[in-house]
Chain A
């Protein structure tokens, strides 16, 4: 700069500097008004989208809690349903039924879902048409309406080849089939997120492919798999339609077992039953049932989130 005019601080240099500063100040001063308006509108739309989602959720929870408030008491968890004495009625058999159903779903869906995902990600050659067909179908299955799974369960699990009858295990199997695609997709994402360098490092030590998957890839994929299972459980716990087809009776007064053939129930089924009765007491009970179901769901999800955080991994 100084070499331009010979002496620093001379008139020409000072003018040039002042000019540059003025232009820069002008450029930095303010956004054009149109950009500002557009930005604000976009931000407002984002807030609106968030609010609609949250308000909907809050409305359901608040309404269920307010309407069900008169019936909420520990007896909801300990008493069986009753048509004669609604003030004493509870959800115990349905609650136990739901817990059994979900436990059955977890036991079935984790090995099947992770196994399928490991095959597709680690072994299946994507060039081959059959692997691409499997992939495409898994994705499509995730969107099939649940009633179709109910019909499938009725035809192939309750009757047909498996012929289990209307037992709780049949309900678990049907729900497991329903949520299996979700778990496969989530487990695949989790396995794909494990960097290839981890596999290379393991293989370069002389570990076999199975040792690499079992001891490096799967442990690193646990958080993602657990997230998938949370989503799956959340869907399975609220399903009513397929259960009605595979034997979940609406009204069961005794505790169910996995293989017992004298009927079982589930929370959403019983809530549906209560809600469709004309008496006000049962409407209150139905709302209280929603609260019970939310509590169960929240407890299961909290456990899963705790599990996920324990194994959370940074790359």
Chain B
């Protein structure tokens, strides 16, 4: 794989990557969506859903940040949220594992169902929610501890057994084991940015969540590290459902099965702004034949 050799310029040019089979993805000729998911003739919406969002509005201190979002997020697939800055895609993502609870002024209306259970129901404990729905952040945020302890922290606090085995399995799962197996006791801050981010993914995997939310996981990384994380995501969807927020449209096209496009709306007086879901569909259709002209303008680079 040409893009995994450190110090080598990426593939044959900035916008091109070769995948494992050597198949060209000529992104310079427009965005090409690789074939993945159910395949032709199968209803892409027939599978099981993890999340069902109904008229979700999230507000900060009474000001809505994103309004009236309804969408179903399928299991064992990668769902991408794209859109311009300020469209509320990160806000929406952080509602899915109740990380927004940490902001006192945040308020969620509507219903977010996780396997039919209302995530914001009165009996739901956000800590339990986060055990099942993990999150990877924009900036790699390893703990100031050794590589081993970074992964072991989750299993230890959750009281899961076999910490050693879990650490090894998680590092292997995140394709990091070969790089770090000889220095598990070193501080995680000595790793490169890309390694740190894969460590954070491994850390999330170590507690066996069902869903992994990723908030622009590659925005702080170089193209080589980004490529590794994208390859990793495609492997991970065998076992996890992934929701990813990204600014990088090529990335959404490369990895995701479904894509949601959000935009920023302004009120008439231009004082309030909020995000709205424009279109949510199979990734291929969003990038090749979108139903809404605003989606087309965005994915072809005319606006945004």
The answer to whether A198 and B141 touch (CB under 8 A), given A203-B99, A205-B154, is yes
- Interface SS, A side: helix
Contact of A313 with B144 at beta-carbon distance under 8 Å, contacts A197-B139, A207-B154, A207-B157 already known: yes
A82, CB-defined interface residue at 8 Å: no
- In angstroms, Cα B156 to Cα A211, docked, is 10
- Contact partner, A206, options B104, B131, B144, Cβ 8 Å: B131
Give the A-B contact count at a CB cut-off of 8 A: 74
Please tell me if the beta carbons of A206 and B141 are within 8 angstroms of each other in the complex. Answer: no
The residues in B between 72 and 112 inclusive whose CB is less than 8 angstroms from any CB of A are 97, 99, 102, 104
A315 at the B interface (CB under 8 A): yes
Which residues of A lie under 8 Å from residue B203 when comparing CB positions? 201, 205
The answer to whether B189 touches A216, judged by C-beta atoms less than 8 angstroms apart, is no
Contacts A195-B141, A198-B144, A199-B102 supplied; 4 other A-B pairs, CB < 8 Å: A206-B157, A207-B127, A207-B154, A315-B144
Decide: A200 near B143, CB < 8 A? Known: A205-B130, A205-B204: no
**Closest B residue to A311 using CB positions:** B144
Contact A205 B153 (CB under 8 A): yes
Given contacts A195-B141, A220-B144, A315-B144, contact A204 B135 (CB under 8 A): yes
* A208→B127 contact, CB < 8 A: yes
Question: Which single member of A125, A127, A202 contacts B153 (CB below 8 Å)?
Answer: A202
Instruction: Please give the distance in Å from B293's CB to the nearest CB on chain A.
Output: 37
**Interface residues of A, Cβ cutoff 8 Å to B:** 125, 127, 195, 197-208, 211, 215-216, 219-220, 313-315
Which residues on the A side are within 8 Å of B99 (C-beta)?
Answer: 200, 203-204
Instruction: Kindly state the separation between the CA atoms of A194 and B137 in the bound complex, as whole angstroms.
Output: 17
Is B158 on the interface with A (CB-CB < 8 A)?
A: yes
0/1 interface trace, chain B 136-164, chain A, CB 8 Å (1 if under): 01010111100000000110011000000
Residue of B nearest to A197 (CB): B141
Please give the distance in Å from A200's CB to the nearest CB on chain B: 6
- Select which of B102, B142, B157 is within 8 A of A205 by beta carbon: B157
Docked-complex contact A216 and B207, CB < 8 angstroms: no
- A sample of 24 inter-chain contacts (CB < 8 A) reads A198-B143, A200-B135, A200-B141, A201-B141, A201-B143, A202-B157, A203-B130, A204-B130, A204-B135, A204-B137, A204-B204, A205-B203, A205-B204, A205-B207, A206-B128, A206-B207, A207-B153, A207-B154, A208-B127, A215-B153, A215-B157, A216-B153, A220-B144, A315-B189
Task: Give the distance in Å from the alpha carbon of A313 to the alpha carbon of B143 in the complex.
Answer: 11
Q: Mark B109-138, 1 if CB is under 8 A from A, else 0.
A: 000000000000000000110111011010
CA distance A216 to B135 in the complex (A): 17
For residue B10, CB closer than 8 A to chain A, the reply is no
Q: Return chain A residues, CB-CB under 8 Å to B134.
A: 204-206
Interface residue count for B (Cβ, 8 Å)? 26
- Beta-carbon contacts of B195-208 to A below 8 Å, as 1s and 0s? 00000100110010
Closest chain A residue to B127, Cβ basis? A208
Residue of A nearest to B126 (CB): A203
Residue from A201, A208, A313, A315 with most neighbouring chain B CB atoms (10 Å): A201
Instruction: List the A side residues contacting B204 at CB < 8 Å.
Output: 204-205
Report the separation of the CA atoms of residues A125 and B104 in the bound assembly, to the nearest whole angstrom.
9
Whether B128 pairs with A197 at a CB distance below 8 angstroms is no
Bound Cα distance A195, B157 (Å) = 20
A91 to B99, CA, bound (A): 59
**Alpha-carbon gap, A220 to B131, bound state (A):** 23
| Chain B residues whose C-beta falls within 8 Å of the C-beta of A200 in the assembled complex | 99, 102, 135, 137, 141
| A-chain residues with CB within 8 Å of residue B142 when the two chains form the complex | 201
A204 B97 Cβ-Cβ under 8 A: yes
A120 to chain B, nearest CB (A): 15
In the complex, are the beta carbons of A314 and B154 less than 8 A apart? no
Which residue of chain A has the shortest Cβ distance to B158 in the bound complex?
Answer: A206
Find the B residue at minimum CB distance from A220.
Answer: B144
| CB <8 Å contact, B157 and A211 | yes
Q: Could you tell me the distance between the alpha carbons of A215 and B104 in the complex, rounded to whole angstroms?
A: 23
Known: A198-B141, A198-B143. A203 touches B102 (CB 8 A): yes
How far apart are A4's CB and chain B's nearest CB, in angstroms? 34
